[in-house]
Amino acid sequence: EDKVVQSPLSLVVHEGDTVTLNCSYEVTNFRSLLWYKQEKKAPTFLFMLTSSGIEKKSGRLSSILDKKELFSILNITATQTGDSAIYLCAVEYRDKIIFGKGTRLHILP
Amino acid sequence: DAGVTQSPTHLIKTRGQHVTLRCSPISGHKSVSWYQQVLGQGPQFIFQYYEKEERGRGNFPDRFSARQFPNYSSELNVNALLLGDSALYLCASSIPVVNEQFFGPGTRLTVL
C-alpha cells in the first residue's frame, strides 16, 4: 500500500532551538517529494525534491531527500514563534499525490 | 497577483443533499487538483485535471465528481452527502502537472 509517514506527529520546542522533521514513504514510480507549511487553511509550498543528496535551502529552512532509504528531512534552525504550524510532506507518484498526516510544531517563546 | 480562489468559504448542508464547490486557478495555470482534509489529517487527493481532462483520481466514491472548464476553473461536485464528508476542501493549481502546487484558502463543508 502506498503511504507517507511523518514523525513526530507533534513537537514542542523553545524559540531558538533547531528541529528536524522526518518523512518516509513507500510508493511506486516516485516522481517528487514536497514539503508544505500549513498555518490556518491553505498549505504554502516550501520545497520540492527530486534528486537524492541535494540539499535545498530557504533561509532557516533546509531539506534533503534520500531516495535509497526512501525518506526526507526538513530542518528548521533558530526557530521562531512564527514557525509554529503543521508541516506536511507529500509524495507525487504516477498521476497521484499522497500526503502524510503532518507534524504539528509549536514554538514556545 | 491573484492567488487561487475558492467559493464558497463555508457551507452547511444536510445529509443526502448535493454540493458544488468552485475553484479558480492562478492565471496561466492549467492544472487543478482537489483535496479533502479532515481535522488532524493531511490533505487527501481527490482529483487532478489538466487541460480539461482528468489526469488522476484518488480513492473516493463515485459520489465525488469534478470537471474543468475552458478557462481552467474547476468544480467539485459531491452527491448524496454523508456526515463523513464534512471537511476542508482544498483546491490547488500548478504548471506543469502537480509540481509546486499553490493552494487556495479552501471551502469548509459541514454536513449535518
pLDDT confidence of A79, banded at 50, 70, 90? Answer: very high
Residue type, B13: K
Record: contact A96-B48, CB cut-off 8 A? yes
In 3D space, the residue among B90, B36, B35, B15 whose CA is nearest the CA of residue A42 turns out to be: B90
Return per-residue pLDDT of chain B as tens, 112 residues. Answer: 679 999 999 999 999 999 999 999 999 899 999 999 998 889 999 999 998 999 889 999 999 999 999 999 999 999 999 999 999 999 999 876 556 788 999 999 999 9
Give the gap in angstroms from C-alpha B58 to the nearest C-alpha of chain A.
Answer: 7
Q: Is A48 in CB contact (< 8 Å) with chain B?
A: yes
Q: Which residue do the cell numbers 532509504 mark?
A: A69
The pLDDT of residue A96 is above 90: no
Contact list, B100 vs chain A (CB under 8 Å): 34, 45, 48
Most confident region among A6-10, A26-30, A41-45 by mean pLDDT: A6-10
Give, for A62, the enclosing helix (H) or strand (E).
Answer: strand A61-66
Handedness of CA A40, A43, A46, A49 (dihedral sign): positive
Q: How confident is the model at residue A63 (pLDDT cuts 50, 70, 90)?
A: very high
Which residues of B1-112 form beta strands (DSSP E)? 5-7, 10-13, 19-24, 31-37, 44-50, 53-57, 64-68, 74-78, 87-94, 102-103, 107-111
Query: Does A99 contact chain B (CB < 8 Å)?
Result: yes
